[in-house]
Amino acid sequence: MEQTVAQKHLRQLTNKSDYTIERYSKLKAKLEPKKEDQISRIIARYNRLLLKPANQNVEMWLGEWEDVISKC
C-alpha cells in the first residue's frame, strides 16, 4: 500500500497503528468517488462519444467507446 498510495494520503487519512484492512477501508471511504459521480462521468463520456468529431482518430475513438461500454 505504501508503494501505490501517495504518502500525503496515508499520513492524513490513516494511522501507522492501523491494520492494513483498516487503512484500506479509511482510504477507500475518503478517496473513492461516489457512485452518482461515477455514473455522471460515464454518461458524459458516452454522450461525448456519440458526437464523434470528424478529425478524431477512429482507433482512439473505438478504444474509448469500448472502455465506456465496459463500464456501463
Tell me the average pLDDT across 33-56.
88
Tell me the average pLDDT across 32-60.
88
Question: What per-residue confidence (pLDDT) applies to 9?
Answer: 81
Question: What per-residue confidence (pLDDT) applies to 58?
Answer: 85
Tell me the average pLDDT across 18-46.
89
pTM confidence score: 0.57
Domain boundaries, the chain: 1-32, 35-71
Q: Are 63 and 49 in contact (CB under 8 A)?
A: no
Q: Are 71 and 42 in contact (CB under 8 A)?
A: yes
Which band of pLDDT confidence, cut at 50, 70 and 90, is reported for residue 57? confident
Question: What per-residue confidence (pLDDT) applies to 46?
Answer: 92
